[in-house]
Amino acid sequence: MTDAVTKHRSSAIAGGQNITNFRSQAMIAAPRISHDHPNRLHDCQRSIVTDLDNLIDRATVAGWSRREVVMVRADLLDAEPEDAGGLLRTMVD
């Protein structure tokens, strides 16, 4: 996603679009192929990439830089499963 797209989305939200409506625009697609298919992970990646891009956009609208958000996302993905699970539970509560 380019910074121009992010700026457009940011201005649309700031200009009065409801953030809930903005969030609901991206839906994670259900798997299209079987569990044992060799391209299953690629299918999953394709399904979630839009929501990840939208998450970055929402964070930049909130005031975080794209660089900060991408770095934090990478740190979260590199975290030990136990650490990441605890952090996610804390964020949801």
Joined tokens for residue 52: 């990840």
Task: With a cut of 70, say whether residue 7 has pLDDT above it.
Answer: no
Kindly report the pTM of this predicted structure. 0.50
Residue length of the chain: 93
* Selection from 61, 64, 65, 91 nearest residue 76 by Cα: 91
Joined tokens for residue 29: 């697609």
Q: Compute the distance between CA of residue 60 and CA of residue 90 in angstroms, rounded to an integer.
A: 22
Measure the CA dihedral 88/66/72/32, to 10°: 60
Q: Please, what's the largest Cα pairwise distance for the chain?
A: 46
pLDDT digit string, tens, across residues 12-37: 445 444 445 544 454 788 899 999 99
